[in-house]
Amino acid sequence: MSTIQLSGVSRWFGNVVAVNDVTMTVGPGVTGLLGPNGAGKSTLLAMMSGFLPPSSGTVTLDGEPVWRHPDIYRTVGLVPEAEAMFDSMTAREFVTANAELHYLPRPAAAALAAIEQVEMLEALDRPIGTFSKGMKQRIKMATALVHEPAVLLLDEPFNGMDPRQRLHLLALLQRLGDSGTTVLFSSHILEEVEDIAGTIEVLVAGRQAASGNFREIRRLMTGRPHQYEISSSDDRSLAAAIIADGAADAVSISAAGLQVQTSNFGAFVHALPRIAVAEGISLHDVTPADESLESVFAYLVAR
């Protein structure tokens, strides 16, 4: 099991600051890297994989510097966003060449196993130039997996994939993370990140905007009220009791039930059952209305 540590990492290109003073630790399991276009995600991944030096700060893998340390390439698998590939080569040839570059003892067998892992055996001997974008993504994934790396870095790996391909890749990343591989992937497909990423790193304008479980991140944002949808045995009486108690900032009623807004999450979740018991009201359903990762991400970007 391996851990990547970034400490005060910045990277600038002339007068443009792409990454600004980022400190984070990425360990075994699946971590999602989120941010709008131009946030610095690709630059960060390039520094973590050893292909780009930081302008300041340090990037280490298991305590060893990543930059100018070619041995780390045996530990890291990288799936870049760019599609530059040798289109005249077949999938088998391309992945086998990567296995040979890693000096694997049985490169052909390793390549075949990696291609099977990404479900591309049916296109094994087809030229890469005939592949769709999603198929190319899967072959890039096979080249990154061929040497069974302890760390897997993926830059927008879901680009061009159809729903079935995405589901397969999600399941594959989940299995790798569960087995102890350190997986970091960037994506704009927020629902999918929410489903499999145990940890989330949010990058906005080159800065680390948030880090941790997405619900924990949301609950730290006391500046923006939480919203809940509630159904009960007596919505009108419950609304009046919540207002009287002062546990919420705003309460409204619709055909679907109550909509409650509160800036004090802790006080509200303790007050609601107490109020319901005191009023003799049964709570049927209490659902956060803005707990999706998309809501969290939109708030962070707007800060």
One-character DSSP codes across 270-302: HHHHHHHHHHT--EEEEEESS-SHHHHHHHHHH
Structure confidence at residue 293 (pLDDT) = 62
Structure confidence at residue 247 (pLDDT) = 83
For the chain, which residues make up each domain, given as ranges?
A: 4-218, 221-290
CATH class of 221-290: alpha beta
Segment 208-234 mean pLDDT: 79
Span 4-218 CATH architecture: 3-Layer(aba) Sandwich (3.40)
* Residue 302 confidence class, pLDDT cut points 50, 70, 90: low
Structure confidence at residue 227 (pLDDT) = 84
Mean pLDDT is lowest, of 200-204, 244-248, 266-270, 291-295, for 291-295
Q: Can you tell me which residue has the tokens 């009486």?
A: 237
Task: Report pLDDT digits (tens) over 113-132.
Answer: 999 999 899 999 999 999 98
Total residue count of the chain as it appears in this document: 303
Asked if residue 195 has pLDDT above 90, the reply is: no
Asked if residue 143 has pLDDT above 90, the reply is: yes
* Residue 177 confidence class, pLDDT cut points 50, 70, 90: very high
Task: Report pLDDT digits (tens) over 29-82.
Answer: 999 998 887 889 999 999 999 999 999 999 999 999 999 988 888 899 999 887
Nearest to 4 by CA among 51, 44, 59: 59
Q: Whole-prediction pTM value?
A: 0.77
Segment 141-159 mean pLDDT: 93
Structure confidence at residue 9 (pLDDT) = 96
Mean pLDDT is lowest, of 6-20, 35-49, 186-200, 214-228, for 214-228
Nearest to 257 by CA among 225, 274, 281, 292: 281
What secondary structure letter does DSSP report for 28? S
Residue 167: both structure tokens together: 């589901």
